[in-house]
A and B are shown apart, each in its own frame.
Chain A
């Protein structure tokens, strides 16, 4: 809330060996952030899924085929964040206090340049007007404003929950939020405990320690955007997904 606040670098650690691809995180995310169900015409290239679990395999045929599930959300890039400096009208910014990359749908003009800039395809465009089945709009979360057609949106670590935590702290006369009060919906929902969330700047947190593990990696690290989502796996072929694509033997994702 104020300048004397400790500066946080919120990040996430994801244990791919634990993720069973159930999709609870995607559902919790959609519920929390008022993301409407897709219209009939939508497909996996036109949907809105702030966190999307990819089904990744080792490119081998049965019975050598092995599958892993990789949740991909906004990687909250920490160094010259690709989407921030391309936006023509300051609809994207990085909060210096939390390190969270924010997207302002009300400022967005829908040019989609940021989506071109994002190497992780973690940004989504509203191709349709938001539509909920009659009555279902009663279940919308008051802490997140529904977006309109024609704008870009993406994961912001459930910022509504950060606001709520702030509010709670303020009620108690504090400026610092209690770490337990701020956990994104996907992390809270993950039944296998594959997702962890916390302040990377504080070395005592679980995520900071996870990030330091030898089997930990980040996607497309060489691009140099310093993402704050740290993946890890004990399987060698899984760790290879971090690097650039290898076209040979590549078949489309199952669907």
Chain B
């Protein structure tokens, strides 16, 4: 065909297209499509739509630590969407810690233990019980003693012969901060996780806080006086403050200026004072006797009454009390994080073919060592109660009523152990509530209306109802009694010359799951240390050729951990700051010495 024709047809085609384009612009179509694509970007795939519905407040108690703060949950169609404290609460004063505030995320944590070999575990348990040899023991390790379920364990261990109930040492006393004018704290993290946050902050205005510890923790930063002592010289400082040695001597050993020590000594003498220690069982606590704090600031720990039938319970033992290589079956209740017992303290107690079962929601703690990990309910799924915190004077009874049903198939540790021991399947919480009600003592505080009524005017059923719908029983603070034991002598860690650094936990870290949102405090800001970080002084960094942000290895007598180092002139030479937690506990063990080397 000839060129001109071809071009004309092609040109007409172009013209047609041009006309089409021009016409299209005169219709709503193109404009609407442009708008729609922009609208599509408002809810393109992956953006969730929050559920709508009726919004109601529900109440419970936080079980993430022994403080057991009262919680008001904002629920949409029953599902908690945010947590807050309960303002009128006499102990927690409406305060929650960052962990507590995001507690309702735990059931959905991606790292949660979602299933476990329940059948196999039960088989192994019964095998271990039936086939155990002479002198071999059945043991329960309860990381959160003082709960009602703890009594179930003790009863179970009493019912089984050779049963033994183990728990991390609990202080036999509680502290009444309102009575103190000066608080001398040897590393007790008063403003970062010690006792009940709300209670501490409420009392804080009325006492002078003297913080004595090697590094500037959150507590030291807010203390009236911070004595930055050389690590491991607490006893020397205490001796000087108690007048046993000269101030000059203490200054030499601890590295703190004489006048600073003198000033603190005067402050202590000037009025009622109390001494607190990071380890509640530290011998430093015994000094309180000489400060006349016993029965006043340091009082006997009180627990809520229990049914008569429960009195026949196994005694509370520490790990050390268990005979070596004797435990054939060890059931560990790690459902609520508590005082972690380092694994190297447990291992020697286990028999050769011991069976270790752990009830936990996290694979971080003992799950790393046990044969059987059974998924336990997490807050706020479990119906629990919380033992008295170290700073509550009167006995209290409060229930963490479940806010949601367990989102994964879980086993109830208490129920399981009771079944193993052949205890009657009852509801211990209800039994105890009734026992408390029978005494007729104390008051019942209901959170919904903030009213508190004397127990005498409450029926057993109303009591139980209120406890579950947000309420708390508080015993009348009768006459305060002096506690029995305080501290006990501890073997001071043997110094390793090859491990020059002292490990100091700058962060309070309990084991167990944390809300995924903790990334806000750990990775998205520099507020809290992540478990894989250490902080060392420029001097130590130089001597080991480590620069800030560099990868390195934390070595201890028990092992190694790959970490990222931060170099900070605020850290004293000879100290390595770490974030606490089970891993760190296992790594450091009793001797808190370590070495940081380049990876």
A residues contacting B by CB (< 8 A) are 17-18, 20-24, 26-28, 30-32, 34-35, 37-38, 42-44, 46-49, 52-55, 57, 60-63, 65-69, 106, 129-142, 144-148, 185, 188-189, 191-193, 251-255
Contacts and interface: CB of A to CB of B under 8 A. Distances in A.
A27 B525 CA distance: 12
Given A42-B519, A138-B108, A142-B76, A148 B526 contact: no
B218 A31 contact: no
B84 A189 contact: yes
A27 B48 CA distance: 20
Interface stretch (B92-100, B152-160, B164-172, B338-346): B92-100
Interface string B489-522: 0000000000000000000000000011111110
Contacts of B481: none
Contacts of B110: 133-134
Contacts of A21: 218, 221, 527
Contacts of A191: 85, 95-97, 197-198, 201
Interface of B: 41-44, 46-53, 55, 76, 79-85, 95-98, 101-102, 104-105, 107-110, 191-192, 197-198, 201, 204, 216, 218-219, 221-222, 228, 255, 407, 515-521, 523-528, 533, 535, 537-538, 548, 566, 568-572
A107 B476 CA distance: 59
A18 B95 CA distance: 14
B566 A62 contact: no
Contacts of A18: 222
Q: Considering the complex of A and B, which 10 residue pairs feature the smallest CB-CB distances, nearest first?
A: A47-B524, A191-B95, A255-B526, A65-B570, A140-B50, A37-B516, A135-B108, A137-B48, A61-B569, A136-B108
B516 A133 contact: yes
B221 A22 contact: no
A35 B515 CA distance: 13
A49 B104 CA distance: 19
B44 A44 contact: no
Nearest to B45: A129
B216 A139 contact: no
A44 B520 contact: no
Contacts of A138: 51, 79, 108
Contacts of B519: 37-38, 42, 47
Contact of B571 (A31, A62, A131, A145): A62
B58 to A, nearest CB: 14
B60 to A, nearest CB: 15
A149 to B, nearest CB: 8
A22 B52 CA distance: 31
Interface of A is mostly: loop
Given A53-B525, A130-B46, A188-B84, 9 more contacts: A23-B520, A27-B102, A43-B524, A130-B48, A142-B76, A191-B97, A191-B198, A192-B204, A253-B526
Nearest to A37: B516
A20 B524 contact: no
21 contacts: A22-B98, A22-B197, A23-B521, A24-B97, A26-B98, A26-B521, A27-B101, A31-B82, A43-B523, A47-B519, A67-B221, A131-B46, A133-B110, A133-B516, A139-B81, A140-B51, A148-B43, A189-B96, A191-B197, A193-B201, A254-B568
A87 to B, nearest CB: 17
A139 B228 contact: no
A215 B288 CA distance: 38
B517 to A, nearest CB: 5
Contacts of A146: 47-50
Given A27-B521, A48-B524, A141 B216 contact: no
Nearest to A58: B570
Given A31-B101, A136-B108, A62 B569 contact: yes
A66 B527 contact: no
A49 B42 CA distance: 21
B574 to A, nearest CB: 11
Contacts of B79: 138-139
A142 B50 contact: yes
Given A62-B571, A142-B50, A44 B516 contact: no
A68 B223 CA distance: 12
Contacts of B204: 192
A68 B221 contact: yes
A33 B285 CA distance: 45
B81 A66 contact: no
A145 to B, nearest CB: 8
A59 to B, nearest CB: 9
A141 B50 contact: yes
A153 to B, nearest CB: 13
A135 B83 CA distance: 17
A189 B74 CA distance: 14
Contacts of A189: 84, 96, 101
A212 B318 CA distance: 56
A18 B221 CA distance: 10
Contact of A53 (B219, B527, B568): B527
A141 B108 contact: no
A95 to B, nearest CB: 22
B221 A69 contact: yes
B201 A65 contact: no
Contacts of B516: 37, 132-133, 136
A66 B216 contact: yes
A144 to B, nearest CB: 8
B50 A34 contact: yes
A65 B524 contact: no
B526 A66 contact: no
Q: Which of A20, A135, A188 has the most CB of B within 10 A?
A: A20
A23 B97 CA distance: 8
B526 A38 contact: no
Contact of B108 (A49, A57, A62, A139): A139
Contact of A20 (B55, B102, B218, B526): B218
B42 A24 contact: no
Nearest to B222: A20
Contacts of B81: 31, 139-142
A140 B527 contact: no
